[in-house]
Amino acid sequence: MKKSTRNMLIAGGIAFIGVSALAAIHNYSSRYLMKFALDREGPKKTEKEKEKIMSLSDFSEILERAMNAASELESTQSEEIEIEAFDGITLVGHWYCPENPKRVIVAMHGWRSSWSQDFGLIAPFMFENDCAVLFAEQRAQGKSGGEYMGFGLLERYDCLSWINWVNERMESRLPMYLCGISMGGTTVLMASGFELPENVKGIISDCAFTSPHAIWKHVVESNFHLPYGIYNAAARDLCKKKILFGSDSYSTLEAVKNSEKPILFIHGTDDHFVPIEMTYENYKACTSEKRLFVVPGADHAISYVIDKEGYEQTVKSFWQDLEKDI
């Protein structure tokens, strides 16, 4: 064999090994990212990765308050509810109902969080204002069934199931509001695209992202400092394989263009997980009655903590204006 031919074969072999190694690394990292995003049982170090991308490590005092409030909410007397989702999995919720409620709230928590942690701090405000509340446990989290989270793509249907459950449970159809934080905020916005019952008076969305594709792109590029372009196709395919929806198959932008319900958008200016620009996009796309409440200096999902008075007044005004003719 000629020396030049042999050198070409060696070079070709090295190149092949290099390409194969890169392909293997890409395949592994894509699967890791999607497991982290969607799977009930995420990869090891899931909590550390979550703290890293959500920039919560600097808010130990707020986290401690949230956890104490979560414990108090869990110890408050309630009824644990089970329903069947559209795809057959079991969904669990917690029903709090005062003697003479004025309105009902369906509350949807965020990604890799819990009903009590996300709503523990604001729950007393809801109860003091005579709200019956259905705190849902999102699919593939807590006690609810399912192996994969859907980043709103699946949960919007679950939200609809909870609305129907409440209306079947209550003797009279009280004014109802859909309320969500983070992925829960995206869930209720995506649900706004459905033809909702008449007694659903409004939607409150706190720090929602616009789509799975958009938030994954932001997190990969801004928090993991990786080029999302090389993962986009794999993420879309893996997402579709796991939950039967592509990561870009639906968005809050599409939903709010078709929504007929008033929407209150809430976001903090210093959100390092879901950029406030996503709420600005949602607000701009919304064609129904809409309001915007921005909290200067608030990071992800802590607008209520940073401006409790302003947050409560904004929500109360929203309720009062929508219920004035009832």
Structural domain of residue 60, as residue ranges? 47-211+250-323
How much is the average pLDDT of 74-87? 96
Task: Tell me whether residue 127 is in a domain.
Answer: yes
Pairing of strands 103-108, 176-181: parallel
21 and 187 in contact (C-beta within 8 Å)? no
Q: Give pLDDT, residue 213.
A: 93
Task: Tell me whether residue 165 is in a domain.
Answer: yes
* Total structural domains within the chain: 1
Task: Tell me whether residue 3 is in a domain.
Answer: no
User: pLDDT band at 227, cuts 50/70/90?
Assistant: confident
Q: Name the average pLDDT for the chain.
A: 89
Q: Which tens digit of pLDDT belongs to each residue from 154-209?
A: 999 999 999 999 999 998 899 999 999 999 999 999 999 999 999 999 999 999 99
State pTM to two decimals: 0.89
Domain of 294, CATH number, reads 3.40.50.1820
User: Residue 25 above 90 pLDDT?
Assistant: no
Task: Tell me whether residue 227 is in a domain.
Answer: no
User: Residue 141 above 70 pLDDT?
Assistant: yes
Segment among 54-58, 290-294, 297-301 with least mean pLDDT: 54-58
Task: Tell me whether residue 146 is in a domain.
Answer: yes
Q: Give pLDDT, residue 85.
A: 98
How much is the average pLDDT of 110-134? 98
Strand partners, 94: 80, 135
Task: Tell me whether residue 158 is in a domain.
Answer: yes
Task: Tell me whether residue 172 is in a domain.
Answer: yes
% of the chain residues with pLDDT over 70? 87
Strand partners, 106: 134, 178
Q: Give pLDDT, residue 1.
A: 53
Task: Tell me whether residue 7 is in a domain.
Answer: no
